[in-house]
Amino acid sequence: MSILKYSIVITLALVCALPARAGDESDSIFQTSTIDALMEGVYDGDYTFGELKKRGDFGLGTLNDLDGEMIGLDGVFYQVRSDGKVFVVPDTARTPFAAVTFFEPDKSLTLTKPLGCRELESYIETLLPSKNIFYALKVEGSFDNVKTRSVR
């Protein structure tokens, strides 16, 4: 899969990626397995996070046995467990499903006023040319709280 990246930096620093131009490998998404396999119960993977780091520094996924959600940010992979605790994932851990990219924004925007979560979502939707392509979004800012969720 490929994506064209442009970023939107909003005082929060929202960064987003769009589908890539043909032949532009720097704007690609690497995915281990498929979401369908995961939904069918394939919870063990052979791909280590050390290997995954060679394919991207930003993304989402899970760990073997669905042991929490995986968040890849700035080259560090984090595990968010169902109790809300967050841990750095060791390179030796394995994943049955992950989608990553090397995040390099193509465009950045800055917000001039604070937005709530729903307002930010609505604003982002106005910036996207299609709801039918892949995007990588990065939002930076100060938040009163951040809610995580993960399956047990």
Closest CA to 83 of 24, 1, 140, 148: 148
Domain borders along the chain are 4-139
Give tens-digit pLDDT for 117-134.
Answer: 888 889 888 888 888 878
**Cα three-residue angle 23-26-99, rounded to 5 degrees:** 110
pTM for the structure as a whole: 0.78
The answer to whether the CB of 39 falls within 8 A of the CB of 138 is no
Higher-pLDDT residue of 145 and 86 is: 86
Per-residue pLDDT tens digits for 3-39? 444 334 433 334 444 444 445 556 788 999 888 888 8
Least confident span in 27-36, 49-58, 69-78 = 27-36
Helix, strand, coil share (%) of the chain residues, nearest 5: 15, 30, 55
The domain 4-139 is placed in CATH, from the list 3.40.80.10, 1.20.1560.10, 3.30.1330.80, 1.10.645.10, at 3.30.1330.80
